[in-house]
Structure 1
């Protein structure tokens, strides 16, 4: 059994048709201690400060923590527009009492910059975000995306820059089991991890470098990403934070009974870790 206890969270992507308040209420009903809100789930996105305050009040009343708002994209393509976007999202996180902001890098098949260019853009963005997030007492959760056309595929590349800038207190990693496998990465960096996202890919015909968000289901017996193995290693290496379900498959979003499917996936993961 892993050394640390497993703490589940619900990313709003488990059921985008729920409002933020409904997501929080479901988490409380399920005995789940935290949620992640999003700004990309259509009419149920968190977009307004007054809305964020109300959502935060509901979460506090039910004893549910708000971990993050997902996400600032593309955070490493910095500009005045990106700075304004980051400030607005930070205001929303602060208003709802969240811990921090998820930061996703540019994914673009036409990008032709060198590795040095990528590192320089990453440093520029982190330096600017340190100031913006610091005004609100928030953390930044850097999520490397393992797609072949991502400008930040690996946690190693992220950790190298964060440590070089001495910004470990401001920035942590999102370990996403889908992107970890997609990037072919083996290192975990549990000590640098602030959030974990889990989802399962089941189609045996898809190669790991061909996986897309739409292929991401809840974690079950047919999972090919070794979610349980990744979680066991993270917990054994000292990770003690939340593990958020983050499925993108339309079939999951359309489920007649999302709570039952979530409970089934939780039971599968817990049993695998015993």
Structure 2
């Protein structure tokens, strides 16, 4: 059975709050792990212009820990290479200074991408191999999140797993996301037969209550956890896949609907608490 310490909250759970208030929110609901995002900030950077010392003081005061920084890098993009290396290096150094466990990378989404599957695979291997070395020098790990969208260059977890093996990226793991599994129509049978649960480093959870097919569903439809009979993705059932497969890592809530950014502190707090209760109840 899952416990409170098994949960994590992504900053999109309360994107309208300042970073100090978001960290206080995590403490208030009893969650000690958070995910930061480079695309959500109240200032010029994802630390809301706090100094490293100020941010680390907040971590201590609110007893929270950065499990992951979600980066904006297109993982398999080899253009403007020197700028990308500089960006990954700088982010890795910040991650090390704030004690973050991981940096998360996502693949390219581009409907006009003319590369073959083999070229996409080779580009992923090339970049991950180098990023793995950069992160390794400062003791930070990496996460790869396959995106289930049809225009994604990396849709399936077993392909991502093969990429990590080919790159020999021992400090990288996969993210399993119930939304992206729904989009890519990854089944429990697929997961059990094709994915090594030991290569999964984080679970992302959300729910969709509108009657949308995998092809129609978008990030804007993703909310906090709903009962299975209301959720077209059946995220509670998906969460049980991972428990039954002996996954022992964190479960993080990632509701991406833009209107959540307008929600009050108390509403976000209640939705997080309700989501935790639903997942624990199974």
Answer yes or no: same fold by TM over 0.5: yes
| Superposition map of 1:28-67 within 5 A | 28-43=27-42, 45-46=45-46, 51-67=51-67
1:269 match: 279
| Superposition map of 1:116-127 within 5 A | 116-127=118-129
Which stretch has the larger CA shift, 171-180 or 245-254?
245-254
2:70 match: 70
Q: Distance in 2 between matches of 1:247 and 1:11?
A: 8
2:200 match: 193
1:8 match: 7
1:234 match: 242
Query: Once the 2 structures are TM-superposed, how far is the Cα of residue 50 of structure 1 from its aligned partner?
Result: 6.0
Q: Distance in 2 between matches of 1:53 and 1:111?
A: 42
Query: Once the 2 structures are TM-superposed, how far is the Cα of residue 201 of structure 1 from its aligned partner?
Result: 1.1
2:141 match: 139
1:180 match: 181
Question: Cα gap change, 1:21/1:41 in structure 2, threshold over 3 Å: closer, same or farther?
Answer: same
Q: Distance in 2 between matches of 1:58 and 1:47?
A: 11
Q: Distance in 1 between matches of 2:183 and 2:33?
A: 26
Q: Distance in 2 between matches of 1:153 and 1:56?
A: 35
Q: Distance in 2 between matches of 1:111 and 1:147?
A: 13
Equivalent of 1:104, from 106, 111, 114? Answer: 106
1:244 match: 252
Q: Number of aligned residue pairs: give it.
A: 268
1:26 match: 25
Q: Distance in 2 between matches of 1:175 and 1:217?
A: 17
Matched, 1:254 2:262: yes
| Superposition TM-score, scaled by structure 1 size | 0.92
1:217 match: 223
Question: Cα gap change, 1:99/1:49 in structure 2, threshold over 3 Å: closer, same or farther?
Answer: farther
Which stretch has the larger CA shift, 59-68 or 144-153?
59-68
Query: Once the 2 structures are TM-superposed, how far is the Cα of residue 5 of structure 1 from its aligned partner?
Result: 4.6
2:131 match: 129
Q: Distance in 1 between matches of 2:72 and 2:65?
A: 20
Preserved contact between residue 101 and residue 141 of structure 1 (Cα < 8 Å): yes
Query: Once the 2 structures are TM-superposed, how far is the Cα of residue 72 of structure 1 from its aligned partner?
Result: 3.7
Superimposed CA distance per residue, residues 36-65 of structure 1 (whole angstroms, 9 cap, x where no aligned partner): 011101425425896344223321333212
Preserved contact between residue 146 and residue 160 of structure 2 (Cα < 8 Å): yes
Question: Cα gap change, 1:259/1:49 in structure 2, threshold over 3 Å: closer, same or farther?
Answer: closer
Query: Once the 2 structures are TM-superposed, how far is the Cα of residue 250 of structure 1 from its aligned partner?
Result: 2.4
Q: Distance in 1 between matches of 2:53 and 2:198?
A: 31
Q: Distance in 1 between matches of 2:49 and 2:134?
A: 17
| Superposition TM-score, scaled by structure 2 size | 0.89
Q: Distance in 2 between matches of 1:123 and 1:98?
A: 24
Preserved contact between residue 35 and residue 70 of structure 2 (Cα < 8 Å): yes
